[in-house]
Amino acid sequence: MRYYFHHLKRDRAILDLEGSEHRDLDAARDEAVDAAREIMATAIRKGLDVSHESFRIVDADRAFCASVSFAAALRRA
């Protein structure tokens, strides 16, 4: 199934126009957590705090499925 990860920042949203294929919502959520961690690692090296950002996961019909906060991505094992 195709899911889209819209990146929500403090002052704007960066829409995912391509999306990516995942077997189910759990797999999409896992990918969003990995992506959030990568973005945070890059931000930390630059001295930036992006812990307030998040991904809004929507499906191919653009229906809301889940939200992954960057702060929560740090705590998820």
Q: How far apart are CA 16 and CA 30, in angstroms?
A: 17
Residues 6+ apart with CB under 8 A from 12: none
Widest pairwise Cα distance in the chain: 37
| Whether the model pTM is above 0.85 | yes
Cα–Cα distance measured from residue 34 to residue 70, given in angstroms and rounded to the nearest whole number: 10
Mean pLDDT, contiguous 10-residue spans, the chain (77 residues): 97 97 98 97 97 97 97 81
What is the spatial distance between Cα 39 and Cα 45, in angstroms, rounded to a whole number? Answer: 10
